[in-house]
Structure 1
């Protein structure tokens, strides 16, 4: 059995979800009450692969909302409690979705293996970052040519390059895709220098320097609400892959000649009978999901009950290829640009 640990995108959405599920006490509760609320298994489901194999899974709502991020102890406790619940349900492999994986990594929760009387077994959990990185790279390779962008000569900026997903994306784009030039953007200068050394290339730039040069921008960092981007300074056409969380890049830059694609999203080959993606702003919630969730599903299909994605900067080309092949085999494909816009794209690419 696989597990998916997620959360609502904001407090009001969480209260509405609770009301829809019949948890009136949560729907009427304030944020303080939600801070003490335990995780809940809110949905169980079956998924059938393109190969015909069927597996069972559960969706666990951590009862975390982003408004809790400023409360360190609350945020970490929410993630740990959800992981404990998954293990107590004997779920073989569980993906940490949304902010839960970010909290786990940024606060280094792997140091805290003991949760009350439970010793967490790390092999039961994955961040899903390897599949996410592979999907984002496929989104670049498939969609950039639709805009007339030749990746062999293109400049590709990776914003959040030193993160787990970002570093994996950089390695793939350099070694497998063969992009013209990588522009490396991140907050920590030493980590950027270390990444540049490991890659044997790439140019380190500040965000405001990289954006006007880039034909493709891969965002794998959270976008500050206060960030402003000068659309007129961007190249046209320009492909932007919004791989951060939450996905709000389109509200800042989308416009003529600038095409924003939700990064790290996959589409399954058939409908899935579930409700959880309906509140995740998916255009086709019966088929689309976060690639990190799909990684747990793939690991269950393959019987790979291990922490396939774990820690920082451990994503390899080989592991991306392995999970990518499994993804295609079982019926997933990366989300692409809307086909209805392709004639327009062709005309603006010249």
Structure 2
């Protein structure tokens, strides 16, 4: 059954890139690419004119079969470390080529996935394109993150929540959403810039006085937190076994992930949940995006929702509470397709939502 809304639906494209292990991610495009050594990938992606690659197509299950794809997932052929360390003009040029490919396919909504958003100043450094609406996907990510925090809080009975990367686009939106409906007893905000932290903390305190707010520029501040939200933009692990208290719960909302896999072996008392993942059973996503079938990252889901809803107002720069609410409402309108918080994964493996009695057992 097809549903009709006031604005006509649009087609979308979503940009991703190889993460820490370039060969593994490029093998998702074509399996033999996984045999190429990392050193060859580093050289080749920098020096060869590798075009953007098609990773997946998406089609609504309530749409006519002959209508063709509703969207595409495209790989920008630049590794995570290259995105963060190479010349900014070269990086942006590669991302612009991805948008060129999206337009050629017929996309009218383009989403910036993973590090393509922060390295372009949340899209603000990209050239305007008439007829193309762009988003970072950060607003729906913030909305879904708050839902996950509320689901996990009972497993962190001390009530101390820490947000690492609090002043970023997603982080600041999460903090402002929590100011309207706070959780926990103590909120610690961690980021590099103290001035922005102070402003964010004051904004939260002005809107809600029932939660104690701390700020810090050091990761040491999370050592006594019961629930840690990770929203950093790095190519490697930021949180390791030494950073967390006994029985802590971590919601890792990063791509590439910024939690150290050693946590699985060295800290069995700690639970790490992969954040920013939604269930989309009503969307046929054909291709390997690194998640089990029927799941998608929240930033990709925002791109889909904007396209299905026919939205023409872009969402670049810092994610706003207003746009997060619009995305929440759009998800409700398209609930027949999914767009709900997915059952939890931990380092890519399915797990159960934790029960309070299980933590630290």
Taking structure 2 as the reference length, the TM-score comes to 0.78
* Residue segments in structure 1 that go unaligned for 5+ positions in a row: 114-118
Instruction: Note the aligned Cα RMSD (angstroms).
Output: 3.4
* Residue segments in structure 2 that go unaligned for 5+ positions in a row: 1-10, 207-212
Tell me, yes or no, if the aligned pair for 2:29 and 2:53 is still in contact at 8 Å. Answer: no
In the alignment, structure 1 residue 200 sits paired with structure 2 residue 205? yes
Which segment is superposed worse, 180-189 or 201-210? 201-210
Q: Find 1:91's aligned residue among 104, 107, 119.
A: 107
In the alignment, structure 1 residue 163 sits paired with structure 2 residue 168? yes
Q: In the alignment, what sits opposite 1:71?
A: 86
Higher normalized helix content (fraction of residues): 1
C-alpha deviation, 1:223, in angstroms: 5.0
Q: How many pairs were matched up?
A: 328
C-alpha deviation, 1:345, in angstroms: 4.9
TM alignment of 1:1-350, pairs within 5 A: 1-9=11-19, 10-20=21-31, 30-35=41-46, 36-48=49-61, 56-69=70-83, 70-72=85-87, 73-105=89-121, 110-113=124-127, 120-121=129-130, 124-145=133-154, 147=155, 149=156, 154-200=159-205, 202-222=213-233, 225=236, 227=238, 229-231=240-242, 234-236=245-247, 238-249=248-259, 251-254=261-264, 255-270=267-282, 272-277=284-289, 280=290, 282=291, 284=292, 286-307=293-314, 309-312=315-318, 314-316=319-321, 318-328=322-332, 329=335, 330-337=337-344, 341=352, 345-348=356-359
Tell me, yes or no, if the aligned pair for 1:49 and 1:331 is still in contact at 8 Å. Answer: no
C-alpha deviation, 1:61, in angstroms: 1.8
SS in 1 for 2:70: strand
Q: Which runs of 4+ in 1 moved over 6 A?
A: 21-25
Q: In the alignment, what sits opposite 1:116?
A: none
Counterparts of 2:152 and 2:120, CA distance in 1: 32
Give the direction of change, closer, same or farther, for the CA distance of 1:18–1:136 in structure 2 (3 Å limit): closer
SS in 1 for 2:189: strand
Counterparts of 1:123 and 1:242, CA distance in 2: 31
Give the direction of change, closer, same or farther, for the CA distance of 1:160–1:122 in structure 2 (3 Å limit): farther
Tell me, yes or no, if the aligned pair for 1:143 and 1:336 is still in contact at 8 Å. Answer: no
Counterparts of 2:279 and 2:352, CA distance in 1: 19
Taking structure 1 as the reference length, the TM-score comes to 0.80
SS in 2 for 1:213: coil
Counterparts of 1:269 and 1:41, CA distance in 2: 22
Tell me, yes or no, if the aligned pair for 2:246 and 2:360 is still in contact at 8 Å. Answer: no
What are the superposed Cα offsets for residues 84-114 of structure 1, whole Å, 9 maximum, x if unpaired? Answer: 22234331111111121121116xx63452x
Counterparts of 1:187 and 1:326, CA distance in 2: 34
SS in 1 for 2:77: coil
C-alpha deviation, 1:8, in angstroms: 2.1
